[in-house]
Amino acid sequence: RKEVEQDPGPFNVPEGATVAFNCTYSNSASQSFFWYRQDCRKEPKLLMSVYSSGNEDGRFTAQLNRASQYISLLIRDSKLSDSATYLCVVWSAGQKVTFGTGTKLQVIP
Amino acid sequence: EAQVTQNPRYLITVTGKKLTVTCSQNMNHEYMSWYRQDPGLGLRQIYYSMNVEVTDKGDVPEGYKVSRKEKRNFPLILESPSPNQTSLYFCASSLQRQNYGYTFGSGTRLTVV
């Protein structure tokens, strides 16, 4: 089993739609969780941290479910500019950082 | 501007010719790391450093070397590059606190022929 798993997609959604991605992780001792956004051939950029209590930043909401070992990202009112690959990242003890392979989102006019 | 600077952005080289990819950050971050990104495999960690003179292997260290003589710089060295090291490379840095997340450099696209 991979340490961090994501559905590669692509998720093709119309503008204005709500879309959700999940990411599962295998190490129950994982400590910190993040979502990154990566545009084609560019560097990943931090989108948001993920906390047990959940956190929201505008149209984006991230959740952590430690019992089931997954994190989620919800995007409301999708924009064309949201088209990108979304990477989940898990930090574990000893500074081990594992990236998921990413979920590709394509927002269609 | 707070940033991680990698050079060069693009590099084509021949098998066996030693090369260095430089990485520098101006945020006083303790933690620095190198990743390679390949289609279908995602980002894989090559080496990381938690502070000056402290480096550790990541998941795919074979064929690479690093050094951390100063806090701001973390060069990646390929002593004898091979075609299977053709990839997109990213340097990243972070404060030591895990909740902070990474800042990435713009990437180096390396082709070894």
What DSSP state is assigned to residue B27?
A: S
- Report whether pLDDT(B42) > 80: yes
Consecutive 10-residue averages of pLDDT for chain A (109 residues): 89 97 91 93 92 90 94 97 96 81 96
Contact B104 A44 (CB under 8 A): yes
- The confidence score (pLDDT) of residue A31 equals 85
Report whether B83 contacts B113 (CB < 8 A): yes
What DSSP state is assigned to residue A80?
A: G
- The confidence score (pLDDT) of residue B61 equals 97
> DSSP labels for B82-110?
-GGG-EEEEEEEE-SSGGG--EE---EEE
- The confidence score (pLDDT) of residue A52 equals 82
Q: Which residue in A has a C-alpha nearest to residue B102's C-alpha?
A: A46
**Min distance B77 CA to chain A CA atoms (Å):** 20
Contacts of B99 in chain A (CB under 8 A): 32, 49
Which chain B residues touch A if contact means CB-CB below 8 Å?
31, 33, 35, 40-45, 48, 50, 56, 88, 90, 98-99, 101-107, 109
